[in-house]
Structure 1
Amino acid sequence: MGQGLWRVARNQQLQQEGYSEQGYLPREHSRRMAVSSIPNANHRKQVQGGIDLYHLLKTRKSKEQEGFINLEMLPPELSFTILSYLNATDLCLASCVWQDLANDELLWQGLCKSTWGHCSILFKQLPLGLSYKSLYRVLEKGILTYTSTPESGVNYFMSKGILDDSSKEIAKFIFCTRTLNWKKLRIYLDERRDVLDDLVTLHNFRNQFLPNALREFFRHIHAPEERGEYLETLITKFSHRFCACNPDLMRELGLSPDAVYVLCYSLILLSIDLTSPHVKNKMSKREFIRNTRRAAQNISEDFVGHLYDNIYLIGHVAA
């Protein structure tokens, strides 16, 4: 009984959508149903944000294409908007069907900018004979070279005119590109301290809570796996940058770059203590406040307590 009622309700739904129990309704009958549901041409143009349903139905060329709309029959602006959601691989596949649309220069220019963010060549006129689709291939090859040897990858970009031979341009490229291997990047920045300096200045920590700012910093510039000179350099550069972005807060709290350095180191040690499964006796809030204020006596006890709460609730600052 229940199955019979379900079949009746399902058949009524299919008939409303242009189907029958045996399959599709005849093409002309289905079209007449769709057209008859719209009283006049003016009303048709107002349905679904101004898209003419009758025009979309006419773009169907055969029964095998039922429900599929040819992008070439749509306005160019709408077709380009649809294709802009594709990645490079899908866009190449789409060019097998819609060659003129999928090979459009604006589409590939947008794909280059969204993937790499900043390249010197993207703000210049492309050399003759070089398309944005070809530029995308060159960038992909450069990334593979970088993954093998970071220095060789950067030199490859500069030899192709993609990056200017400038530490600031290299830093912008690293800051805006999320596909770089972070382990290779750490090695490269350890060797190129000039690029590291420019990369740090690209961060804006204004009005950010110290642990959150430190997390953002280590998302772009990954911390080394062990303590050493490089970690101390990163914390020092971060401390100066954080103070430069928040001068009013530093005066209000009475903090200096050296005091922020102590706090950052304390937060990293606390993160390891609270998150490591090997540490059984976790550091308490009172212990953290006492140990931190021994190293930096001018720091407010309430402020240090808020730092502990942030690590306890959110987690590691350099994970």
Structure 2
Amino acid sequence: MNRANRCQQAGAGLQMGQGLWRVARNQQLQQEVYSEQGYLSREQSRRMAASNISNSSHRKQVQGGIDIYHLLKARKSKEQEGFINLEMLPPELSFTILSYLNATDLCLASCVWQDLANDELLWQGLCKSTWGHCSIYNKNPPLGFSFRKLYMQLDEGSLTFNANPDEGVNYFMSKGILDDSSKEIAKFIFCTRTLNWKKLRIYLDERRDVLDDLVTLHNFRNQFLPNALREFFRHIHAPEERGEYLETLITKFSHRFCACNPDLMRELGLSPAGKGQADWDEGGFVFFLFLPDAVYVLCYSLILLSIDLTSPHVKNKMSKREFIRNTRRAAQNISEDFVGHLYDNIYLIGHVAA
């Protein structure tokens, strides 16, 4: 009896264990199904949201004065796939789209839309946006003239200039793009941003007549002195070391700055008595030609301060009080507030010749 009872108890325990295992297994399977369904729903929701964001951002990018997105969608047939044919759009819209292309992409576009991409207005815009001034712009175009061909010549001449400035200028003159005049060369340099600044610095150091005309193209009226100096050195890059060329640049800048701001010079005391030279104008009245000695001193002070504040090799930076004291020692008529504003400008904005 004891043995039979033990067997019955063991069988009942086995059945109970199997039942508990089946319950636990079913719960596990249900959790896996729920989690998988939740994951799928979350993944589907994420994809739908991403698709909506992408579509909305795309529509925002192409919307302008008119709804270009709906215009393109309306003109696109059900059978047609890919980008819409620009010849199907109004000419004004087609030219507007092509005007955003550079020269390389415009040449590629001409393989598909030859009449549109070869339009002279598009290539004229490319020429004038890159080379703002050329002598040939103001002349009657010769027979067979093409702005696309002119763009290629300007690009070739710029590459030649960046290798050898003299040869580059001679190339422009040989093609009739530039006149043999220092003023025309200066205007070309002033309105062009594709010339190598190191080669340009060498060329201007050798052609002081071009440098003089280039300086006169700057208008510093009502500009703060450090900002005007930054603009000057953006067009005419300063040499890496102090020397005769740097002194020449600062001298020319000082004269130009004073010429553009005569009232400001007198107001700030940057043209003190005894620093000027009397002369007569055509009406017989005496006036004074003030030499910009104070501006020259301030420019050197700003350059030295820029190096002091921006160089990692200078451990002990010059304080505002030290700068005011040193500057007023060299130019006594300048107010302390004005010199303090100069220091603040360099401290906040940075180097004047960077």
Q: Label 1:292 to 1:113 Cα distance change in 2 as closer, same or farther (>3 A).
A: same
Q: Label 1:32 to 1:249 Cα distance change in 2 as closer, same or farther (>3 A).
A: closer
User: Given that residues 18 and 33 in structure 1 are in contact (C-alpha distance below 8 angstroms), is that contact kept between their aligned partners in structure 2?
Assistant: no
Q: Label 1:279 to 1:40 Cα distance change in 2 as closer, same or farther (>3 A).
A: closer
Q: Label 1:43 to 1:82 Cα distance change in 2 as closer, same or farther (>3 A).
A: closer
Q: Label 1:98 to 1:282 Cα distance change in 2 as closer, same or farther (>3 A).
A: same
CA displacement 1:63-96 (0-9 Å, x = unmatched): 6743632110111111111111111000000000
How far apart are residue 23 of structure 1 and its match?
Answer: 24
User: Given that residues 268 and 335 in structure 2 are in contact (C-alpha distance below 8 angstroms), is that contact kept between their aligned partners in structure 1?
Assistant: yes
Q: Which runs of 4+ in 1 moved over 2 A?
A: 1-68
Unaligned runs of 5+ in 1: none
Distance 2:172 2:22 in 1: 63
Root mean square deviation of aligned Cα:
8.9
Q: Label 1:57 to 1:244 Cα distance change in 2 as closer, same or farther (>3 A).
A: closer
Q: Label 1:63 to 1:236 Cα distance change in 2 as closer, same or farther (>3 A).
A: same
CA displacement 1:113-161 (0-9 Å, x = unmatched): 0110101112222221231111111111101110111011011101110
Percent identity between the two aligned chains:
91
Unaligned runs of 5+ in 2: 1-15, 272-291
User: Given that residues 19 and 25 in structure 1 are in contact (C-alpha distance below 8 angstroms), is that contact kept between their aligned partners in structure 2?
Assistant: no
Q: Which residue of 2 aligns with 1:262?
A: 297
User: Given that residues 123 and 151 in structure 2 are in contact (C-alpha distance below 8 angstroms), is that contact kept between their aligned partners in structure 1?
Assistant: yes
How far apart are residue 281 of structure 1 and its match?
Answer: 0.8
How far apart are residue 50 of structure 1 and its match?
Answer: 9.0
Q: Label 1:47 to 1:185 Cα distance change in 2 as closer, same or farther (>3 A).
A: closer
Q: Label 1:312 to 1:139 Cα distance change in 2 as closer, same or farther (>3 A).
A: same
CA displacement 1:178-205 (0-9 Å, x = unmatched): 1110000000000001101111111111
1:116 to 131, 144, 156: 131
How far apart are residue 294 of structure 1 and its match?
Answer: 1.1
How far apart are residue 106 of structure 1 and its match?
Answer: 1.0
Q: Label 1:58 to 1:199 Cα distance change in 2 as closer, same or farther (>3 A).
A: closer
Q: Label 1:205 to 1:103 Cα distance change in 2 as closer, same or farther (>3 A).
A: same
TM-score, normalization by structure 1: 0.82
- Decide which structure has the larger Cα Rg and report it: 2
Distance 1:10 1:98 in 2: 68
CA displacement 1:41-61 (0-9 Å, x = unmatched): 999999988969999569867
Q: Label 1:18 to 1:311 Cα distance change in 2 as closer, same or farther (>3 A).
A: farther
How far apart are residue 318 of structure 1 and its match?
Answer: 0.3
User: Given that residues 63 and 69 in structure 2 are in contact (C-alpha distance below 8 angstroms), is that contact kept between their aligned partners in structure 1?
Assistant: no
Q: Which moved more, 1:95-104 or 1:128-137?
A: 128-137
Query: What SS class does the counterpart of residue 93 from structure 2 fall into?
Result: helix
User: Given that residues 62 and 69 in structure 2 are in contact (C-alpha distance below 8 angstroms), is that contact kept between their aligned partners in structure 1?
Assistant: no
Distance 2:77 2:217 in 1: 56
User: Given that residues 59 and 69 in structure 1 are in contact (C-alpha distance below 8 angstroms), is that contact kept between their aligned partners in structure 2?
Assistant: no
Q: Label 1:45 to 1:31 Cα distance change in 2 as closer, same or farther (>3 A).
A: farther
Distance 2:52 2:170 in 1: 64
TM-score, normalization by structure 2: 0.74
Question: What is the number of residues matched between the two proteins?
Answer: 319
Q: Which residue of 1 aligns with 2:349?
A: 314
CA displacement 1:296-318 (0-9 Å, x = unmatched): 11111111111011111111000
User: Given that residues 95 and 116 in structure 2 are in contact (C-alpha distance below 8 angstroms), is that contact kept between their aligned partners in structure 1?
Assistant: yes
Distance 1:90 1:166 in 2: 35
